[in-house]
């Protein structure tokens, strides 16, 4: 095997690793995505080194300007990444030396790659949390538009995917607003908790140089420096918390996607999905496949898998840094990409989808969906114990089923055969619109309650 020299390691490792070691050790193939964060961290570090008198102002200025040159080369696709230099940090530092010469060697004063990579990765994950917040707000806003348009449209509510009770379209949309609202809360909580700066923790024990960690933390938008240097370089909780929040959010997206797949089928026809988020069949010309929804439904597997993978990597590591932690990034990169794509696709689908009001209303009264309203009427009007009312209602459902009709189609005489005290007033509660209008408890499906929740969420989002 051929040997490659890695001058960045210096004396003892001047011979360099062989090709296999180089391949397993290098992370530049994926961590080059951290280029912008790495350069931002290095520019903040250089400014701090000058402010504390550790390096001269002229050297710091050369470093900061040279780093901008390197960043522009990367952004313009003119930068040549080297696997021999292992990672983004060494690639940037090596190029900086070519650009500005000897002052580049002073950039790494008072820091280690351990605190450098932890800082870069935190900055990157923080950006993803911000992107997830933006995506979730946009999705919630799209759901609010749908909820407001159909606040009083009736549809079947299901348990076990069986018709249960009538609800409103707006109420169903608002259920997802609540779900994604909790996701939004988790994203915001995670961002607040992770916003401590590792830079200055050095390899694991801090540094003897008189650095100003408050300065670099503030420059990079962190709330404070991380309080323990051992923890700062070995912490990946922030990535795990992002993956955890992403997994729950992806699960919610998957549940909604599953409903859209069902609702858009020929058997349901509850919604029509736009052509922008559907495809045709290569052989069946009548087909309109909800491919975007199906792909969103699948994303949870990749995102949840990333969460498990990183948890497994971290579970057995002693303090502080171990090379295992190089395996922390690819899963997070993949999960973030897929979460952002799924959020954007779901927002587009929600904005474009057309609920089919007649089909929704037609299905709302099927399957004896007002049986609970009948039982409640027996309790409320006749003073019947609920268990007895449940039994009487069951007998009426059986009678309607035998006749092949729904409850409102039973005559009063037929109802009185089951219980003689039933009056014609019972028909006031058997219509689906009457049913949903009666559910006025806080959080219920009554249109007035739905509109109140929409107003609350509009205020929350500002």
Burial of 11 (0-12, 13-18, 19+ CB in 10 A): exposed
Contact present, 104 and 66 (Cβ < 8 Å): yes
Q: Which of 160, 208, 282, 441 is catalytic?
A: 160
58 counts as catalytic: no
- The residues near 24 (Cβ < 8 Å, ≥ 6 apart) are none
Closest to 232 measured CA to CA, from 209, 202, 211 = 202
Q: Which two tokens stand for residue 71?
A: 């960043």
Q: CA 293 to CA 276: how far, in whole Å?
A: 12
- CA 456 from centroid of its chain's CA atoms: 22
Q: Which of 274, 281, 322, 411 is catalytic?
A: 281
- The residues near 140 (Cβ < 8 Å, ≥ 6 apart) are 177, 180, 181, 184, 457, 461
265 counts as catalytic: no
Q: CA 137 to CA 257: how far, in whole Å?
A: 18
Which residues are annotated as catalytic? 160, 281
């Amino acid at each position: 095997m051929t040997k490659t020299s890695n001058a960045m390691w210096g004396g003892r490792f001047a011979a360099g690793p062989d090709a296999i070691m180089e391949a397993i050790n290098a992370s530049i193939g994926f961590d080059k995505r951290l280029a912008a964060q790495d350069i931002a961290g290095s520019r903040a570090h250089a400014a701090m080194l000058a402010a504390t008198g550790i390096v001269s102002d002229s050297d710091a200025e050369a470093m900061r300007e040279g780093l901008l040159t390197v960043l522009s080369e990367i952004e313009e696709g003119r930068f040549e990444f080297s696997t021999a230099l292992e990672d983004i940090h060494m690639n940037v530092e090596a190029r900086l030396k070519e650009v500005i010469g000897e002052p580049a060697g002073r950039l790494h004063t008072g820091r280690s790659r351990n605190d450098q990579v932890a800082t870069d990765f935190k900055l990157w994950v923080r950006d993803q949390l911000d992107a997830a917040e933006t995506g979730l707000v946009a999705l919630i806003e799209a759901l609010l538009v749908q909820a407001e348009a159909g606040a009083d449209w009736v549809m079947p509510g299901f348990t076990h995917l069986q018709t249960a009770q009538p609800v409103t379209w707006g109420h169903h949309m608002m259920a997802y607003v609540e779900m994604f609202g909790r996701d939004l809360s988790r994203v915001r909580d995670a961002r607040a908790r992770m916003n401590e700066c590792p830079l200055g923790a050095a390899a694991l024990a801090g540094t003897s140089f008189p650095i100003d960690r408050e300065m670099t933390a503030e420059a990079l938008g962190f709330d404070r420096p991380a309080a323990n240097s051992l923890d700062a370089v070995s912490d990946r909780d922030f990535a795990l918390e992002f993956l955890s929040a992403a997994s729950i959010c992806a699960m919610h997206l998957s549940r909604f996607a599953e409903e859209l797949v069902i609702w858009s089928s020929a058997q349901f026809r509850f919604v029509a999905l736009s052509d922008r988020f559907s495809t045709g069949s290569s052989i069946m010309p009548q087909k309109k496949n909800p491919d975007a929804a199906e792909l969103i439904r699948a994303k949870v597997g990749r995102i949840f898998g990333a969460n498990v993978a990183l948890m497994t990597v971290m579970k057995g590591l002693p303090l502080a840094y171990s090379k295992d932690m190089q395996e922390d990034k690819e899963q997070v990169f993949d999960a973030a990409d897929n979460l952002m794509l799924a959020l954007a696709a779901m927002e587009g689908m929600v904005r474009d989808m057309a609920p089919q009001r007649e089909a929704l209303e037609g299905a709302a009264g099927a399957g004896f969906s007002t049986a609970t309203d009948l039982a409640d009427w027996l309790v409320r009007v006749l003073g019947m114990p609920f268990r007895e009312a449940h039994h009487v209602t069951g007998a009426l459902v059986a009678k309607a089923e035998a006749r092949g009709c729904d409850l409102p189609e039973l005559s009063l005489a037929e109802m009185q055969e089951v219980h003689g005290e039933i009056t014609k007033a019972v028909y006031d509660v058997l219509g689906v619109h009457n049913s949903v209008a009666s559910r006025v408890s806080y959080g219920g499906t009554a249109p007035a309650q739905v509109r109140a929740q929409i107003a609350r969420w509009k205020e929350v989002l500002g």
